[in-house]
Structure 1
């Protein structure tokens, strides 16, 4: 199973078709790279600008094998933080040093060059044409559109990838939830109960970081393996996000969360989508076919939908 989303909020036309195109890559990171290459998204070359007109991307990758995690932030010389994050994970066991999980700024940029990840100039990242830029600007005030992809294999190995350009007019050096372990993505396989969970989340980065939502949702699913997944996720979001005292300082319009959760139990696959915003465009593979969907929602409450996946 492979699934992709383009984040929660309001989006330009055709984003659901872009999700379908990304799924056809049949690879988690390549799917996100497809999204990073399209200026209609808030990642890679479509990233939001900082308050001084620069692009600082971020992204992360996590795999169930050894639960390895890698992330990059404040990256300004590459449109593919998703690929660079995976390179960071792949480099983890190359020597006996304690390898970093997160690289930011100049260090992340230098690592991109070292790993032969395609680099570019700031002008290439700021690539919106006039009409696309105008339309995106109207949307971004109510947009939390971190993109992501997840995959679960037939035998339960799983991985997740995430990428974001951050919030519009952010401070230079600001890091979002992509770079925090347990916040924006998760990938874990527990062979003793024949269950795997992976996810990629979008929303207000500060809220997601404070609540560690990805890890919280995953633990609730693993602790209730016999329960219906969508009900467990709904309960987890209500308890750990909606009612969390950690978010008391944030107004309701800011407390946005959504994304995709993939679950494999006893050989059966399920995908759950949820959010509390305008919409969540997504696509997923089900057997030999690719299906796309835009889950419409409301700013006033969460919506949830589950999809049974054929393999």
Structure 2
């Protein structure tokens, strides 16, 4: 089972079907990898990789820009069996930061690399830097100009992307990737690369990926909170609903959450106008919504 999200916010009505379809395609590809490899981690990573390559979303190609007009990317992965994780933040342009986060997990020396250190790690492990012009879109430049001129808010509707997966043995994993906030200060790091905030996985409870206001998700520890509710006996949907309700009430947070438990039961919740998502289960056609 694979569930993905394409970011919480308020995607314009005319674009909602396309955002949902992108999530459906990513979830289906994640399930294909899950059935082929048996790895929940590889499935979650592959699903996010598909979304990073889709410029509709704020991750990888098409990611939003800092106030200096540059790309800085955040991504993380976590697997639930040993609770290993890997993450990068404030990463300069590389095509698929989620793959670099996966390499951090596999190497195992550290969990999180930042900025130039993340870039050096990536190059040392065979990843090639990208030409920024191949990853920066006209839409991202226009959005930055509007934000800096005070004509738009810094959020990016349909932004951060994430995936959770559960294999046939009940092993879970989560992955999340983002460009962050439009016009953010250089060096700002959101919740997505922080385990327990934007991404969390533990076979004893479940896995979750979050999207929304990064500073609020940091403070609340949204994904760990949801998984603690799973551990306490709530269903996946109950855990998602309660987490988003408390997130909004306690820190005035705005965002969304996808959750899966070890039985493959899912939860999807948001307190924003939209959060595109896709769901793929073995033996069923992949579905999507917003």
The interval holding the TM-score normalised by the smaller chain is 0.7 to 0.9
**2:40 paired residue number:** none
TM-score (norm 2): 0.85
Does residue 1:234 correspond to 2:241, yes or no?
Answer: yes
**1:259 paired residue number:** 257
**1:5 paired residue number:** 5
TM-score (norm 1): 0.80
- The structure showing larger relative contact order (alpha-carbon pairs under 8 Å, at least 6 residues apart) is 2
Gaps of 5+ in 2: 31-42
Does residue 1:143 correspond to 2:149, yes or no?
Answer: no
What are the equivalent positions in structure 2 for 1:1-311 lying under 5 Å apart?
Answer: 1-11=1-11, 12-13=15-16, 14-26=18-30, 27-92=43-108, 99-126=109-136, 128-129=137-138, 134=142, 141-143=154-156, 145-190=159-204, 196-224=205-233, 227-239=234-246, 241-244=247-250, 247=251, 252=252, 255-265=253-263, 269-295=264-290
Change (3 A) 1:91 1:7: same
- Conserved? CA contact 2:248–2:254, under 8 Å: no
**1:96 paired residue number:** none
Task: Give the Cα separation in 2 of the matches to 1:154 and 1:40.
Answer: 32
State how many pairs are aligned: 268
- Conserved? CA contact 1:58–1:179, under 8 Å: yes
Task: Give the Cα separation in 2 of the matches to 1:290 and 1:129.
Answer: 34
Question: Once the 2 structures are TM-superposed, how far is the Cα of residue 140 of structure 1 from its aligned partner?
Answer: 6.4
Task: Give the Cα separation in 1 of the matches to 2:127 and 2:256.
Answer: 29
Gaps of 5+ in 1: 93-98, 191-195, 296-311
Q: Higher Cα Rg: structure 1 or 2?
A: 1
Question: Once the 2 structures are TM-superposed, how far is the Cα of residue 159 of structure 1 from its aligned partner?
Answer: 0.8
Give the structure with the higher percent strand.
1
Measured against aligned partners, the alpha-carbon deviations of 1:226-254 in whole angstroms (never above 9, x if no partner) come to x4432343334334x2332xx3xxxx5xx
